[in-house]
Amino acid sequence: MTGSGRRAVEVIGAPIEVGTHEAGAIMGPAALRTAGLVRALADLGWPVTDRGDVSPDPAAPARGAVAVAAWALALREAVGAALGRGALPVVIGGDHSLSLGTVDAVLRHCVAGNRALFVLWLDAHADFNTPETSPSGNMHGMPLAALCGEPGFSDLFADDDRPTLAPGNVHLFGLRSIDAGERALVAARRIDVVDMRTIDEFGVVAPLRRILERVKAADGVLHVSLDVDFLDPSLAPGVGTTVPGGATFREAHLIMEMLHDSGIVAALDVVELNPFLDERGRSARLLVELVASLFGRAILERAPVLPDVGGA
């Protein structure tokens, strides 16, 4: 496969750990680069540019909601710029609070292009806590609630007229750990949940195909947010929030292969990699392999490749 006619890919590092109490996620982007992420995409024929790491306003505080807001703004600008250039952004982190900026950017781009945004949240957790429901207070467990307009996040966004993500367009996939308060919110907002019980019963193909068909029927685009803890910790121990019973090696690769075949992925987050907790780079190498599968690495050549999503 060659890069001819393919949409450009921009890798954006987000060395952020202000959303969690566990140190080490700040090293995630460097570990993914060391594991060969950029080279893997280039070897598949994608025109790829590494934009380096974003950084927040140096005047921002080191911790707290204002610090998270500074990171979100920096990432919103970087991802928005990539989308404006017609590129597909791959944001590597860094804790999951980074999605406050990445999803916000893609959502704004979709609104401008009159397209619907859907989010596939590959994660052991729902990340739908609010400051009121969160047992830990860690912001990396709250980004979806904030993006969907739940109250309690006035310090996170600079503008009052920002678009909010439709809860009905959020798909939690691989869920196996949820707090009581966010369970009630997820149910009340009618968020689609494919938990591990569902995957155990039906596999990943039928639930994911249903989601992809829904996005296509709406002429929508898909933002994929991949948390390391989606995977079983026996495969990927390099994360501070391990939960047993996660996705297997083949389940994870099959998901990525189906996403590639769908042609509707507009942006990708790879989050929560903590090299300090990893074992000789196992988690970073597996994540690089999964990203390569999403971008078309396969035993046999398959089509279509991920297309340009035009105005969105």
The catalytic residues are 96, 123, 125, 127, 140, 227, 229, 272
| Cα 96–chain centre separation | 8
Q: Hey, CA dihedral for 293, 91, 225, 104, is it positive or negative?
A: negative
Distance CA 252, CA 169 (A): 22
Q: Which long-range contacts (CB under 8 A, 24 or more apart) does 188-195 make?
A: 189/128, 189/148, 191/126, 191/128, 191/167, 192/168, 193/126
Distance CA(189)–CA(126), nearest Å, equals 13
Looking up tokens 């910790």 gives 233
User: What contacts 181, CB < 8 A, 6 or more positions away?
Assistant: 129, 130, 132, 133, 134
What's the gap between Cα 35 and its chain centre? 19
- Burial annotation 125-163 (CB, 10 A radius, 16+ → b, else e): bbbbbbbebbeeebbbbbbbbbbbebebbeebbeeeeee
| H or E stretch at 88 | strand 88-93
Structure tokens at 216: 């296509």
Rounded-to-integer distance, Cα 83 and Cα 69, Å: 21
